[in-house]
Amino acid sequence: MIPLGSSPRNQWLVSATEVDLRRAPLAERPLTIAAAPQRVTLDLARTAIIIVDMQNDFCHPQGWLGHIGVDVTPARTPIPHLAKLLPHLRAQNVPVLWLNWGNRPDRLNLPPKLLHVYKPSGTGTGLGDPLPGSGAHVLEDGSWSAAVVDELAPEPGDIHVAKFRMSGFWDTELDSILRNLGVTTLLFAGVNVDQCVLGTLLDASCLGYDCILLEDCSATTSPSYCFDATIYNVKQCFGFVAQSSAFLDGMAG
């Protein structure tokens, strides 16, 4: 019998005369962590982390936000926490997914409504436009602008998904990838926590995934009350909130 499937977690066994639809069982790897509103036990074998928009245009001083006068210092606060956490998650075979904004060069995946958000008067530097100085096109897939910041350089085994909406589930392959990986629990990190992180987490919750927001691995350049409201609403309605240290302590134990 020959394995047939893109992921070892979701494969048939086939031959010329037979097909076995049974998936190989995953050995449970339970982990109990401190979280809010309650302590949580999850299965690392069915967990993935989604890191949203930790890209040069959002987090580098010479990126797009820096160019238009936004202080990106808050957006950089997740970097040391993620740099410490990700090697431990990879060592536990937890899939690492980079969910990054990535426009097509021709911007045909962007409706006028999205272009208007970032270029309301039709002037200035908006999505896909070249940055003065570097010439890098804003959040264009494959460009320096859309790349993950150097401090969080992805590993070869990581998974990349380009998005072009606030939610990473709209018009992308994210849900298909997660289902092929057999994932039921999602850890969320990145920026902006009140916009793309929350938008993706809300859709994940509506799709039936268990959602845990990593508070110290998330940030926003919005006013602080936006961060506070996001934390409140996730705990109240959409999942759980935890610190990366809870995972590090649990995996170390």
| Alpha helices by DSSP H, 55-209 | 56-59, 64-67, 78-91, 112-118, 174-180, 198-206
Rounded to 5 degrees, what are φ and ψ at 251? -70, -35
- Note whether 50 and 187 are within 8 A (CB): yes
The residues that bridge with 148 in the sheet, in sequence order, are: 55
* DSSP single-letter state for residue 55: B
Which of the following is catalytic: 57, 59, 163, 194?
Answer: 163
163 is catalytic: yes
* DSSP single-letter state for residue 63: S
For residue 215, give the H/E element and its range. strand 210-218
Which of the following is catalytic: 196, 210, 211, 217?
Answer: 196
Rounded-to-integer distance, Cα 65 and Cα 190, Å: 15
| Catalytically active residues, by annotation | 53, 163, 196
